[in-house]
Amino acid sequence: MFGKICISSTLLIAGTLIYVLFRQQVLFLTHIPSDLLAKIKIDIDYSNCTAVTYFLIFCLPDALWYAALLIFQSALLEKNITAKFIFIASVLLPFIYETMQKASLIPGTFDWMDIFTYLLTLLILFLCQKKHFYQLLH
């Protein structure tokens, strides 16, 4: 359990670092003084972004956060209905969020690449921990 929490924390920090360095306009950074953020910001010309750059800046941080959430939840997963429900809700969360953006129910930009990234993240984690997930969900 301790190892999963360490991995989860590391992924969360890595995803946050990408936001702090490249995408400082996000809501969770509004509480940090802008003069401090300006000192560490790395400017990117988004109009000339390659697919790799786009993925690294816009998709990877969310994938890292999603992986952190799932790994953390799997560390807490027990054989009771509440834990299973919370884990399944965690799995579905980013897909619901993207769907709500697509339907203009919440602010944000729907992105098929985000959906693909979430699916890929889920698949990788499932393949790495399929025995663990299977035992706990059945």
Q: Mean of the pLDDT values across residues 21-50?
A: 81
pLDDT in tens, 39-76: 888 888 878 888 898 999 999 999 999 999 999 888 77
Chain centre to alpha carbon of residue 98? 12
State the pLDDT at residue 90.
92
Contacts of 1 (CB under 8 A, 6+ apart): 75
Name the percent of the chain lying above pLDDT 70: 93
Burial class (CB in 10 A: 0-12, 13-18, 19+), 33: exposed
